[in-house]
C-alpha cells in the first residue's frame, strides 16, 4: 500500500519539470477546451478516461476527466470542479491545468505510484452556456445557463435583455443624472462611481442601471435576459429560493443534477476542490461553538475547522495569496453543498484576486493620482488594469439619447466585463503550477488507514488469538465531522473473514468506526477456533483498504 511518507517532495519537482509545453495564449472557448481534452486523451489514454457527464439545454458538453490507473472507481478519489461561475474562466483553466500537469508528470515514479493509489475526477467547466459569453460578439458577465426563464415573473420569457447602446461590443452600465440618485462621482477619479453619503448634496448624483432599455415597460432595466439558472446558485444548501438565478428548487438543472448524481454514486471521494468564487483556502472558515448546536447546521464544525485551518496553511505554502483575503460562502453554492450536504472535506478558492494597486514611489508620478482613501474596489481594479497595460479596461462614459429617460442626461460606460474575475492570461501558467502543486500536497495529506503490529498466537489446541492495530497514518481524519453524521459517508470497516470450519470465540467479525483523527489508532483482538487461514482487512471506499492473510496452524 502507498504510504504517505513515501510521497516526498520529488513528486512536485518531477511534476513541474515535466509539465506540458505551454502553448495557450488566451482563455479557451468550448472548442479549444474540447481540443485540449482530446489531445490529452490521445497521449495519455492509459491513465485518462474522457466522458461527457451531460449536455446543457443548449447542447454544450460537460466534460469529465477521470485520471488514475487500474480500477479507478475503487480507489480514494479527489473531485476537482471548475467553471462554477460563468465569468470565472480562470477556474476552467486551473482545473484543466491540474489535469495536464498531473498527466505530464506521470512519467515520474512517484506520481505514477500516486496514480496507482488515488483517482482524480476533474470537471473543468460546469457553466459552458454562461462561459460562452466571454467569446461572443456581445460580451457581458453571464452567470445563467440557456434554460429560458421568466426572471421577472411577468409571464414572458427572456423579453428584456441588456442592449449595447453605445456599440462597443460590451454590456456595461448607464448612469442617469438625478438629484435623488444613490451614486456620485468618486473624488479620486471621475470615471468611477461611489455610493452617495448623507453629506453629499443633490448635485452630481446619478442612478446606475444595467446597459439597456425597459423593453417590457415594467419599470426595471434589462432584468430578464437570455437564460436563467446559475450553476453556483442551484444547490440545496441554503438554496436562495425565488432569487434570480436560483431556480424554482435546488438541483433543478441538467448540470447540477448530473454532477450530484455522479458524486453520490462515488463513495470513494474523500475531498472536493472547487475553483470558484467561494473561498475557504485563502483564509479558513471560522468556527463558532454555536455551530455544533444548530438544528440545521450552517457553520463549520469544530474538528472540520481544525482541518480547514491546516489545509489553508498548506495552500498558502504553495500559492501566492494576497493579504486581506477573507473566507466567503454563498447560498446555493456548490462548494458549500459538497461540505454541508455531501459530507466531504470541501475546499474552494478563486485562484486569483485583483492585486492591491500601489501608489508610485516617484513623487512626480504619484502626483497624478488622488489617494483611494475609501479603498474603492472599482478604482483599485481600474488602476491595476491600467498599470498592467490592459486595453479597453474601461468604456468611457458616452452621452446617449435614451427613450426611457427623455430630456435627462444619460451616459453609458464603466468597467469592462470579466476584468475582476480573470488575470491576464500570461499569468495563468504560474497559477496553474502553484495550484497543481497544492492539489498534490492535499492528496498527500489524505487519510490513510493501515494495519500494524498484526500478530497471532496459539492459545490452545485449535484456538488462536489474532491481534492488530488499526491506525490512521494520514494527516487528515478518516472522515469529516459533518460526514460522520451522515449515513451516506461510509464508516471505517475492519473485518476478519474466517475460512470454512472456523468460528469466533470472542470479538466481532466486523467493526465499524466513526472518524479517526490523524495518528489515532484502535487495538483489536479476536479468538478464533479452528485452523486455517483468516483474512483481515481495514478501510473504506474513500480510504482504500489494506488486506492481510494470516495462516493459523
Q: Return the higher-pLDDT residue of 221 and 429.
A: 429
pLDDT value at 95 more than 80:
yes
pLDDT value at 377 more than 50:
yes
Q: Residue 234: which of 136, 142, 127 has the closest Cα?
A: 127
Task: Look at residue 162 in the predicted model and tell me its pLDDT.
Answer: 78
Q: What are phi and psi of 22, to 5 degrees?
A: -100, 105
Mean pLDDT of 421-439: 97
Q: Cβ neighbours of residue 493 under 8 Å, at least 6 residues apart?
A: 510, 511, 512, 513, 537, 538, 539, 540
CATH 2.60.40.10 range(s) for the chain read 449-552
Provide the whole-model pTM. Answer: 0.92
Confidence of residue 19 (pLDDT cuts 50, 70, 90): very low
Q: What is the pLDDT of residues 272-305, one digit of tens each?
A: 999 999 999 999 999 999 998 898 999 999 999 9
3-state secondary structure (DSSP) of residue 9:
coil
Task: Look at residue 393 in the predicted model and tell me its pLDDT.
Answer: 96
Q: Cβ neighbours of residue 193 under 8 Å, at least 6 residues apart?
A: 175, 183, 184, 185, 186, 206, 208, 378
Task: Look at residue 9 in the predicted model and tell me its pLDDT.
Answer: 41
Q: Which three cell numbers stand for residue 376?
A: 474603492
Q: What is the pLDDT of residues 153-205, one digit of tens each?
A: 655 455 556 799 999 999 999 999 999 999 999 999 999 999 999 889 888 89
Residue 172 CB: number of other CB atoms within 10 A?
23
The domain covering 24-133+228-354+423-439 belongs, at the CATH homologous superfamily level, to Zn peptidases (3.40.630.10)
Q: What is the pLDDT of residues 254-271, one digit of tens each?
A: 999 999 999 999 999 999
3-state secondary structure (DSSP) of residue 428:
helix
Looking at CATH, the fold of the domain delimited by 449-552 is given as: Immunoglobulin-like (2.60.40)
- 521-529, strands of its sheet edge to edge: 449-460, 463-472, 521-529, 503-506
Whole-number Å distance between alpha carbons of 177 and 184: 9
pLDDT value at 392 more than 60:
yes
Task: Look at residue 201 in the predicted model and tell me its pLDDT.
Answer: 86
Task: Look at residue 224 in the predicted model and tell me its pLDDT.
Answer: 52
Whole-number Å distance between alpha carbons of 30 and 130: 11
DSSP labels, 215-266: TT-SS-SS-B-S---BGGG-SSTT--TTSTTS-SSTT-SHHHHHHHHHHHT-
pLDDT value at 324 more than 70:
no
Q: How far from 433 is each of 13, 110, 220, 428, 440, CA to CA, in Å?
A: 11, 17, 45, 9, 11
Q: What is the pLDDT of residues 482-506, one digit of tens each?
A: 999 887 899 999 999 999 999 999 9
pLDDT value at 355 more than 70:
yes
CATH 3.40.630.10 range(s) for the chain read 24-133+228-354+423-439
Mean pLDDT of 100-110: 94
Whole-number Å distance between alpha carbons of 386 and 377: 14
Percent of the chain beyond pLDDT 70? 91
Q: What are phi and psi of 528, to 5 degrees?
A: -115, 125
- Asked if 421 and 517 count as a contact pair (C-beta separation under 8 A), the reply is no
Amino acid at each position: 500500500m502507498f504510504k504517505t511518507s513515501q510521497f516526498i517532495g520529488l513528486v512536485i519537482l518531477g511534476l513541474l519539470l515535466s509539465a506540458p509545453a505551454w502553448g495557450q495564449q488566451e482563455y479557451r472557448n468550448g472548442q479549444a477546451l474540447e481540443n485540449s481534452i482530446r489531445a490529452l486523451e490521445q497521449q495519455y489514454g492509459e491513465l485518462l478516461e474522457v466522458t461527457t457527464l451531460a449536455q446543457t439545454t443548449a447542447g454544450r458538453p460537460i466534460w469529465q476527466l477521470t485520471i488514475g490507473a487500474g480500477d479507478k472507481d475503487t480507489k480514494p478519489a479527489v473531485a476537482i470542479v471548475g467553471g462554477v461561475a460563468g465569468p470565472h474562466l480562470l477556474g476552467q483553466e486551473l482545473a484543466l491545468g491540474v489535469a495536464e500537469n498531473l498527466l505530464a508528470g506521470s512519467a515520474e515514479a512517484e506520481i505514477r505510484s500516486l496514480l496507482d493509489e488515488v483517482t482524480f475526477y476533474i470537471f473543468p467547466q460546469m457553466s459552458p452556456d454562461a462561459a460562452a459569453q466571454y467569446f461572443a460578439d456581445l460580451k457581458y458577465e453571464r452567470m445563467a445557463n440557456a434554460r429560458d426563464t421568466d426572471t421577472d415573473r411577468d409571464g414572458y420569457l427572456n423579453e428584456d435583455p441588456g442592449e449595447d447602446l453605445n456599440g462597443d461590443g460590451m454590456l456595461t452600465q448607464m448612469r442617469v443624472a438625478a438629484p435623488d440618485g444613490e451614486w456620485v462621482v468618486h473624488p479620486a477619479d471621475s470615471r468611477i462611481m461611489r455610493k452617495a453619503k448623507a453629506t453629499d448634496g443633490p448635485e452630481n448624483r446619478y442612478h446606475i442601471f444595467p446597459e439597456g432599455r425597459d423593453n417590457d415597460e415594467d419599470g426595471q432595466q434589462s432584468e430578464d435576459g437570455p437564460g436563467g439558472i446559475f450553476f453556483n446558485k442551484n444547490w440545496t444548501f441554503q438554496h436562495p429560493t425565488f432569487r434570480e438565478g436560483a431556480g424554482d428548487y435546488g438541483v433543478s438543472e441538467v448540470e447540477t443534477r448530473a454532477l450530484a448524481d455522479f458524486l453520490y454514486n462515488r463513495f470513494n471521494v474523500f475531498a472536493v476542490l472547487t475553483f470558484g468564487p467561494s473561498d475557504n483556502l485563502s483564509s479558513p472558515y471560522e468556527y463558532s461553538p454555536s455551530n455544533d448546536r444548530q438544528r440545521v447546521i450552517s457553520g463549520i464544525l469544530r474538528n472540520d475547522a481544525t482541518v480547514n485551518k491546516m489545509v489553508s496553511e498548506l495552500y498558502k505554502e504553495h500559492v501566492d495569496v494576497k493579504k486581506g483575503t477573507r473566507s466567503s460562502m454563498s447560498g446555493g453554492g456548490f462548494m458549500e453543498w459538497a461540505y454541508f450536504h455531501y459530507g466531504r472535506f470541501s475546499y474552494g478558492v478563486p485562484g486569483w484576486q485583483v492585486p492591491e494597486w500601489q501608489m508610485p514611489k516617484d513623487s512626480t508620478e504619484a502626483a497624478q493620482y488622488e489617494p483611494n482613501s475609501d479603498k474603492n474596489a472599482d478604482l483599485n481594479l481600474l488602476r491595476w488594469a491600467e498599470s498592467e497595460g490592459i486595453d479597453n479596461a474601461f468604456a468611457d462614459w458616452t452621452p446617449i439619447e435614451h427613450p426611457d429617460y427623455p430630456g435627462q442626461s444619460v451616459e453609458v460606460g464603466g468597467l469592462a466585463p470579466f476584468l475582476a474575475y480573470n488575470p491576464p492570461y500570461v499569468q495563468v501558467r504560474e497559477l496553474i503550477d502553484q495550484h497543481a502543486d497544492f492539489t498534490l500536497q492535499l492528496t498527500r495529506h489524505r487519510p490513510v488507514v493501515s494495519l500494524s503490529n498484526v500478530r497471532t498466537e496459539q492459545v490452545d489446541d485449535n484456538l488462536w488469538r489474532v491481534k492488530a492495530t488499526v491506525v490512521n497514518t494520514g494527516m487528515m481524519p478518516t472522515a469529516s465531522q459533518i460526514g460522520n453524521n451522515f449515513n451516506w459517508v461510509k464508516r471505517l470497516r475492519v473485518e476478519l473473514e474466517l475460512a470454512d470450519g472456523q468460528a469466533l470465540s470472542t470479538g466481532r467479525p466486523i467493526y465499524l468506526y466513526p472518524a479517526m483523527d490523524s495518528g489515532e489508532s484502535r487495538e483489536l483482538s479476536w479468538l478464533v477456533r479452528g485452523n486455517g487461514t483468516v483474512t483481515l482487512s481495514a478501510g473504506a471506499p474513500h480510504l482504500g483498504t489494506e488486506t492481510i492473510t494470516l495462516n493459523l496452524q
